[in-house]
Structure 1
Amino acid sequence: MSPISRTTRAALGASVVALTMVVATACGPDNSDATGAQTAAPTTAVTSAAGTPGAAPVKLPTLDELKKWKFEDWDKWAQQNVITPAVKGFWDLQKILDAKPVKPGPGNAPTGQPTARPTAATPSRPASPAPADNGDDPLPKVVQEKPVPHPYTKNYHVNGKLFFQDGKQDYVCSGTVVSDPANPGKSNLVWTASHCLHGGKGGKSHTNITFAPAFNSAGAVSGGKQAPLQQAEPYGEWGAVAGIVSPTWADEADPEYGGPWSQYDFGIIRVANPDGGNKSLEEVVGGSVPVWFNAPRDQITGVSSFGYPAGKPFDGMELEHCDSGKPVRHTIDPSRPAMLTIGCNGTGGDSGGGWFAARDGKQVLVSDTSIGGNDNTWEAGPYLDDVAQHALEYMSKRK
């Protein structure tokens, strides 16, 4: 399977982003406590070129060791991965229109290697038969994405477009305002994919990361129309001031291809009010979405994915959704939780967009778009287990 990441990036207001990487290797989800014993001897060290000068490298633990990390451990890790401030006023409408989903390298991905969603073409899943149950199910029937009607009703305003730069190239992704456990009703947290925030193995944190909630809600830039950027961004541009990505992504990922790292392809950023006011993102947009961790797979039903696909036939200006029902499993590394997979014809730019399901009659987030097929008939996202939960808990408590 060759999934493609969906990414297009743009610059933000002056802000510093601390991206924390967490390692997720081996074994599936459980309900272990996040606190506890000292971390065992780590195996691999990862430091960002933009990290805190002179800071001692923080080594990556195994998944079981990671579950025992305390706040201080996560904080030391975060200090290694501070990205440069975004340039205020960097993004204009033309830059956003020119931003592209990340493309994979020439040719198809190697057999068994998915391509990340930032591209427009992804090789399909290998057709060879698998063992009786290795965590794979038959691919679901394709579902056509549909645009959310303009103007977006309030419940859709938690969805937004994410801009960033990788080197000198501008890219776009998608994201979702999620609930902050330590600050109920006042969240400044946005959920997205790791590949929308970091370049993977040997790479760096992306720059100029910005979130525009309810982008183009009124349809001001639909159908090739030109309008002042303010009309396309009803809530302005919220620059990232801190963040965290899966260490599996930072330590292993080849961003041009999907692989075992895609099974932990999630990321979280904290954003700041562009007006400098005290109102949180959740208060401004009118809501947030709780995240359902370790959800029983048989209870994850009625899934709808949201995002701003930018690869053809889409143009990245519309919030699209796939109402795909119950996801099936896709596994690259059987020692890690199988990904959730839905039928959807989304393209690059969808990456990081939220997957919603119902729990006790309320909308919750169960995954984010990570990879997909080169024929644009399916998309897959990570199963959110303890590692993802501990990442959110850290970001919630971090000042």
Structure 2
Amino acid sequence: MRSASPFGTPGVQRTARPTVGAARVGAVFSDNGSGGHFCTASIVDSPGDSVILTAAHCVHGGKGGHESTDLMFVPGYRDGDAPYGEWPITHVVVDKRWVRHSDPNYDVAFADVATVHGRRVGDVFGGNKLGYDRGYRLRVQITGYPASTEQPITCGNDTTRFSAGQLRIECTGFPGGTSGSPWVTDLDRETHIGTVVGVIGGYQTGGATPDVSYSPYFGNGVLDLYRTAVRDEQH
């Protein structure tokens, strides 16, 4: 018999407990926080402790669209509370292939967030490491914020290859609002730090049904985006 998984029953979502790991994931709000939350993002480890990761379609409209403004990242958001502060998004980094063609294989974005009261968002609990070229079959945990609820949900399962540029996972009940949710593998049970290898996004902007989700494959293109975000945060 397989030992109990920290992810719970594979493929079945549940309410995420308010753990350190869950605090690295947050809801993305419009209108400087006065609007509703519509996407999910997470803190990524970076030298300047101010980089977050989400789906490109959460922050840029793609072909014919434009960059979204007045966005707010709220890590650990739960039931109307912002226990770790509200962090304005100051700059986004999106692949030109998403901007020009809405290419689903590049539906990934990094963003820099402002320093608030002398603190950086990575000072809260640190960030997950960025993983790339890790292959198509991984056990991951996904945590995100449905737009219709005020608590995060989480689910763990194995990913599979959907195409050369896309991963696929079966996790029940991940509707609108969970776009940008991180796919985290190699999760340390003590530090709750893992390696993020995907986000809900990509094919059908993450999936046409709430029970099957997709992610762009994280390769060198995503690494280049991350390096750009790191350079930007240091200026």
Structure 1: stretches of 5+ with no match in the other structure: 1-141, 222-228, 254-260, 332-336
1:302 equivalenced with 2:100 (yes/no): no
Which residue of 2 is the match for residue 316 of structure 1? 149
Q: Residues 307, 359 of structure 1: CA spacing in aligned structure 2 closer, same or farther, 3 A cutoff?
A: closer
Q: Normalising by structure 1, what TM-score?
A: 0.51
CA contact 2:55–2:179 (8 Å) conserved in 1: yes
Q: TM-score, normalised by structure 2?
A: 0.84
CA displacement at 1:239 relative to structure 2: 0.4
Q: Which amino acid aligns with 1:365?
A: V
Aligned positions, number? 214
The answer to whether the 8 Å contact 1:328/1:340 transfers is: yes
Q: CA deviation at 1:344?
A: 1.6
1:183-194 maps to which residues of 2 (within 5 A)? Answer: 183=47, 186-194=48-56
| Structure 1 partner of 2:5 | none
User: 1: distance between equivalents of 2:125 and 2:143?
Assistant: 18
Quick one: distance in 1 between partners of 2:185 and 2:216? Answer: 14
Kindly provide the amino acid, as one letter, of the partner of residue 269 in structure 1: A
- Please state if 1:269 is matched with 2:114: no
User: Percentage identity across aligned positions?
Assistant: 25
Give the secondary-structure state (helix, strand or coil) at the position aligned to 1:156: helix
1:293 aligns with 2:120: no
User: How far apart are the structure 2 equivalents of 1:236 and 1:280?
Assistant: 10
- The structure where strand makes up a greater share of residues is 2
CA distance in 2 between counterparts of 1:360 and 1:296 reads 20
Distance 1:329 1:160 in 2: 27
For the pair shown, the structure with the greater C-alpha radius of gyration is: 1
> Residue type matched to 1:305 in 2?
I
Q: Is 1:344 aligned to 2:156, yes or no?
A: no
Alignment of structure 1 residues 239-254 onto 2, 5 Å = 239-253=88-102
Contact 2:179 2:206 (C-alpha < 8 Å) held by counterparts: no
Q: CA RMSD in A?
A: 2.1
Shift of 1:296: 3.0
- Provide, for residues 318-372 of structure 1, a one-character-per-residue CA deviation record: whole Å limited to 9, x for no partner: 1111111x211223xxxxx331110022100000010001179961000000134
Structure 2, unaligned stretches of length 5 or more? 1-9
Distance 1:350 1:360 in 2: 23
Distance 1:280 1:341, change over 3 A: same
Q: 1:367 matched to which residue of 2?
A: 198
Q: Deviations over 1:132-172 (max 9, x none)?
A: xxxxxxxxxx92311113xx12222101001136xxx8651
CA contact (8 A) 1:155 1:287 kept: no
Aligned-partner Cα distance in 1 for 2:175–2:88: 25
Instruction: Write the deviation string for residues 208-249 of structure 1: whole angstroms up to 9, x where unpaired.
Output: 111001001xxxx2xxxxxxx5xx001221001122012222
Query: For residues 187 and 142 of structure 2, what CA distance do their matches in structure 1 show?
Result: 16
Distance in 2 of aligned mates of 1:153 and 1:288: 14
3-state SS of 1:208 partner:
coil
How far residue 316 of structure 1 moved from its aligned partner, in angstroms, is 2.8
Pairing 1:146–2:14 present: yes
Find the aligned partners of 1:329 and 1:262 in 2 and give their Cα distance. 15
Give 1:163-182 correspondences, 5 Å limit.
163-164=29-30, 172-180=38-46
Q: Which of these residues, 63, 75, 80, is aligned with residue 213 of structure 1?
A: 75
Q: Is contact 2:16–2:143 with CA below 8 Å preserved after alignment?
A: no
Offset of 1:199 from its aligned partner? 0.9
CA distance in 2, matches of 1:282, 1:171: 21
**1-structure distance, mates of 2:206, 2:114:** 31
User: Is the 1:174–1:307 Cα contact (8 Å) retained in structure 2?
Assistant: yes
Distance across 2 between alignment mates of 1:305 and 1:378: 12
Distance 1:280 1:373, change over 3 A: closer
Structure 1 residue 330 corresponds to structure 2 residue 177: no
Aligned-partner Cα distance in 2 for 1:363–1:235: 20
Q: Which amino acid aligns with 1:146?
A: R
For the Cα contact (< 8 Å) 1:212–1:236, is it kept in 2? Answer: yes
